[in-house]
């Protein structure tokens, strides 16, 4: 395949190899385009670089319609057998990572209901003022400087503070939470992997430490209930039973990690996209509100911060003519589905006015659809509204530094000059 002057062999398009995940995003996007056209349900061997492997391998699902329909058929393509990661969760991981994202109904909807209330659009509206206030203060601090790492000073701070406040985590623990959530979703990257520790050990230590924090906050909330999510969790009952210690731990970890790692990257990619597509910046920022709904969703479509979630076939079936047997693993490749030329016109263009979106960046509209989507949209809106108001002429300095990961499309550092006149 030779597009845009860059050739890639079939061998290089191997989603099981570590080399593939070290390629630039543009190259991976080109590989997805090739897969969509030639092998839309492509089999890959089990990676040999993960902490565990069952040798079964997986199918990468790269077309929009397939990701959408598989997401909406949890009876045939479930989340609760093994995990939504490539390897099944080993027993020592279940206690910390066996959260609702890895369950099916009826358990899943019981668990989801416990926290749903905190994430409804009405509830998020109440948070709006706080989100805007924070965005304003972060961007005004940045505007005073000559050059900053936008990820460190804004993109990672806003989602972190908001999810910690929602969970009732004291502010002095925010950095503690950030460091541990970075390890959980960024453990392949040397910058986040603690020196001298294996990925497996680092994940467990980070999870144990977050669990200890949750236990401490939880004990306090049993005695002194407050209006936060941790209070809802420690006082909840499902079918008359309180959540078990491991259900509490994995819930807490899921929420702080999901609330942090995704929106941060969407914000960073948004800044990067608006540098690459300056006409879109000009168009959006000249009348921010007019294009803010489509602009925010375009950032999520274009960047697709979550690379995939896995589903497992519960019976023999066929997808696009490919035979699957019970137990087969399917990776829903959101970034590829979001660039599907059969669904989106000029999919590689970043277009803040794109109307036909219904993108899959927050999932395929099934039962596990992102719980934090409204929250993430409000956070993105708040940050970009301030960027448009205070530093519309910012410039990106040098190349961003990208996260090495096969699960999160991340930007670790993005240096900018605010260029405030
Ligand atoms: C731009 C930011 C975000 C992106 C791109 C994103 C993406 C996703 C995706 C792709 C899924 C899986 C959907 C599926 O399997 O069908 C998901 C699930 C989830 N997300 Fe988000 N997310 C974002 C922000 C957030 C935030 C701020 C929170 C707040 C805690 C959050 C909490 C969750 C939870 C709890 C789930 C699991 C839901 C379930 O299993 O029922 N996400 N997200």
CA–CA separation, 413 and 403 (whole Å): 9
Cβ neighbours around 9 below 10 Å, total: 8
Residue 164 pLDDT exceeds 90 = yes
The rounded Å distance from CA 420 to ligand 1 centre is 34
Q: Quick one: average pLDDT of 173-198?
A: 89
Residue 4 pLDDT exceeds 60 = no
* CB 99 less than 6 A from any atom of ligand 1: no
More confident residue, 352 or 11: 352
* CB 13 less than 6 A from any atom of ligand 1: no
For position 199, what pLDDT does the model report? 86
The rounded Å distance from CA 145 to ligand 1 centre is 33
DSSP state of 275: H
* CB 305 less than 6 A from any atom of ligand 1: yes
The rounded Å distance from CA 250 to ligand 1 centre is 15
Task: Name beta bridge partners: 323.
Answer: 318
CA–CA separation, 253 and 137 (whole Å): 28
Which residue's CA is the closest to the ligand 1 atom numbered 31? Answer: 372
DSSP state of 289: G
CA–CA separation, 152 and 169 (whole Å): 20
Task: Name beta bridge partners: 2.
Answer: 7
Residue 372 pLDDT exceeds 90 = yes
The rounded Å distance from CA 101 to ligand 1 centre is 9
- Asked if 274 and 394 count as a contact pair (C-beta separation under 8 A), the reply is no
Q: pTM of the prediction?
A: 0.95
CA–CA separation, 319 and 412 (whole Å): 36
pLDDT in tens, 248-263: 889 899 999 998 889 9
The rounded Å distance from CA 121 to ligand 1 centre is 15
- Asked if 329 and 58 count as a contact pair (C-beta separation under 8 A), the reply is yes
- The label of the residue with tokens 């006149």 reads 421
Residue 240 pLDDT exceeds 60 = yes
Select from 131, 157, 258, 369 the residue to mutate for testing ligand 1; criterion: most ligand atoms less than 8 Å from CB: 258
Q: Is 354 helix (H, G, I), strand (E, B) or coil?
A: coil
CA–CA separation, 336 and 28 (whole Å): 9
Give the nearest ligand 1 atom to 265 CA: 1
The rounded Å distance from CA 372 to ligand 1 centre is 6
Cβ neighbours around 36 below 10 Å, total: 22
Which residue's CA is the closest to the ligand 1 atom numbered 15? Answer: 368
pLDDT in tens, 40-82: 999 999 988 777 777 899 999 999 999 999 999 999 999 999 9
Which residue's CA is the closest to the ligand 1 atom numbered 37? Answer: 101
* CB 162 less than 6 A from any atom of ligand 1: no
For position 6, what pLDDT does the model report? 52
The rounded Å distance from CA 68 to ligand 1 centre is 15
Q: What is the mean pLDDT of the chain?
A: 92
Pick the CATH number of 70-298+353-417 from 3.40.50.150, 1.10.630.10, 3.40.50.2300, 3.40.1390.20: 1.10.630.10
Going by their DSSP bridges, the two strands 329-333 and 58-61 should be labelled as: parallel
Q: Quick one: average pLDDT of 274-286?
A: 98
Task: Name beta bridge partners: 60.
Answer: 42, 331
């Amino acid at each position: 395949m030779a597009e845009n002057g860059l050739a890639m062999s079939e061998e290089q398009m191997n989603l099981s190899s570590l080399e593939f995940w070290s390629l630039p995003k543009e190259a991976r996007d080109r590989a997805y385009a090739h897969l969509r056209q030639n092998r839309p349900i492509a089999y890959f061997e089990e990676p040999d670089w993960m902490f565990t492997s069952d040798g079964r391998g997986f199918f990468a699902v790269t077309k929009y319609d397939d990701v959408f329909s598989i997401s909406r058929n949890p009876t045939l393509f479930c989340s609760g057998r093994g995990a939504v990661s490539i390897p099944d969760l080993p027993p020592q991981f279940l206690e910390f990572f066996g959260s609702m994202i890895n369950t099916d109904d009826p358990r899943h909807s019981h668990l989801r209901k416990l926290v749903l209330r905190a994430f409804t659009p009405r509830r998020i509206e109440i948070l709006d003022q706080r989100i805007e206030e924070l965005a304003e203060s972060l961007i005004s601090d940045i505007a005073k400087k000559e050059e900053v790492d936008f990820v460190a000073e804004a993109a990672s701070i806003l989602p972190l503070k908001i999810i910690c406040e929602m969970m009732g985590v004291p502010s002095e623990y925010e950095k503690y939470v950030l460091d541990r959530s970075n390890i959980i979703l960024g453990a392949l990257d040397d910058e986040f992997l603690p020196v001298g520790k294996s990925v497996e050990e680092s994940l467990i230590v980070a999870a144990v430490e977050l669990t200890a924090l949750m236990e401490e906050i939880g004990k306090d909330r049993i005695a002194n209930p407050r209006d936060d999510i941790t209070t809802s969790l420690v006082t909840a009952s499902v079918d008359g039973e309180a959540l078990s210690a491991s259900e509490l731990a994995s819930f807490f970890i899921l929420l702080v990690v999901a609330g942090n790692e995704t929106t941060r990257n969407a914000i960073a990619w948004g800044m990067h996209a608006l540098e690459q597509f300056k006409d879109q910046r000009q168009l959006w920022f000249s009348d921010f509100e007019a294009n803010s709904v489509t602009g925010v969703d375009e950032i999520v479509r274009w960047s697709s911060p979550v690379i995939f979630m896995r589903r497992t076939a519960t019976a023999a079936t066929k997808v696009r003519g490919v035979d699957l047997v019970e137990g087969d693993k399917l990776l829903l490749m959101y970034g590829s589905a979001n660039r599907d030329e059969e669904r989106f016109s000029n999919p590689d263009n970043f277009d803040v006015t794109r109307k036909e979106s219904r993108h899959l960046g927050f999932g395929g509209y099934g039962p596990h659809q992102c719980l934090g989507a409204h929250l993430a949209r409000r956070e993105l809106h708040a940050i970009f509204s301030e960027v448009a108001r205070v530093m519309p002429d910012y410039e990106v300095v040098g190349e961003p530094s990208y996260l090495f990961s096969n699960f999160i499309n991340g930007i670790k550092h993005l240096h900018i000059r605010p260029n405030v006149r």
